[in-house]
Amino acid sequence: MPATPGRLVVCPTPIGNLEDITLRVLSALREADVIACEDTRRTRTLLDRYGVRAPLVSYHEHNEERRAAELVRRMRGGDVVALVSDAGMPLISDPGYVLVRACAAAGIAVEVLPGPSAALAALVASALPADRWRFVGFLPRRKGELRKVLGEPGGTLVAFESPRRVPATLRVLAELDPDRPAAVCRELTKVHEEVVRGAASELAERYSDMPPRGEVVLVVGPAEGDGSDAAGESSAVNAVARLVESGAKPRVAASVVAELTGTSANELYRAHAHRGRRRST
């Protein structure tokens, strides 16, 4: 009798506080035939905390290709494989892409569970615009490449950065635009969690002689001249007004223009309403 097709379950794990694991992830880990993880010792600490006894196999950047092939064979035989990284969502600056790609190519089901993410936590904590943002993983080390990444349009930028490189990165950011808003988020969800917000020049000065300690996520507000600048927004608001004058409802008009321009529908709606209030006074 043929085996029941297996599947891959991608399980995000806590980025610091072990209590942040979800009930669905715990259930998936308990039901898995095997758990693929970066560091078996680190994952075993998490599993022991919650009494999970599933067997572990190492899956990291140095054995991804070989291990992915082995795991695909197991899933074809009916096994359920849970994939975890040391912290956060697998694949996001962590191993896992090779395995997910192999499963997709083999027609094996892939289930992704929601959970902790340092990038998302930092974005929200930064108090910077979250309607348009991009995650770039770890920032490049070469100054020329770093300047290019920091200066590219695309909304708010979220990146991982080595603590010892934070002062140099902030200096480059301050050279590009001393007033550009940013936030240094460190040790998120841990005992010494800290979010420091300010202009690029202020942060560069603060950390010039004292790099932050622990794991760092750097969040940088939109660059000057980004696609979300005032001129572009003004044109989009004008387009909303013309549609409303033609008989469209404001929210419908804002949604249509947002889809065409990539601007936030909510921001367009609020800007149109604000313009209408100003004209009526």
Res 1: pLDDT: 39
**Counted domains in the chain:** 3
Can you give the pLDDT at residue 258?
Answer: 86
* Model pLDDT, residue 277: 64
Domain that holds residue 245: 230-280
* 234 and 214 in a common domain: no
- Residue 180: per-residue pLDDT: 95
Residues of the chain above pLDDT 90, percent = 76
End-to-end CA distance of the chain: 78
pLDDT in tens, 66-86: 999 999 999 999 999 999 999
The pLDDT, as a whole number, for residue 272 is 84
**CATH at 96:** 3.40.1010.10
Task: State residue 279's pLDDT score.
Answer: 58
Written as six digits, the tokens of 273 are 């309403």
What does the pLDDT read at residue 164?
A: 96
Residue 122 and residue 182 in one domain? yes
Low-confidence ranges of the chain (pLDDT < 70): 1-4, 224-234, 276-281
Identify whether 2 is part of a domain: no
Residue 48 has a CB neighbour count (10 Å cut-off) of: 10
pTM score, two decimals? 0.75
**Is 1 contained in some domain?**
no
Whether residues 63 and 103 fall in one domain: yes
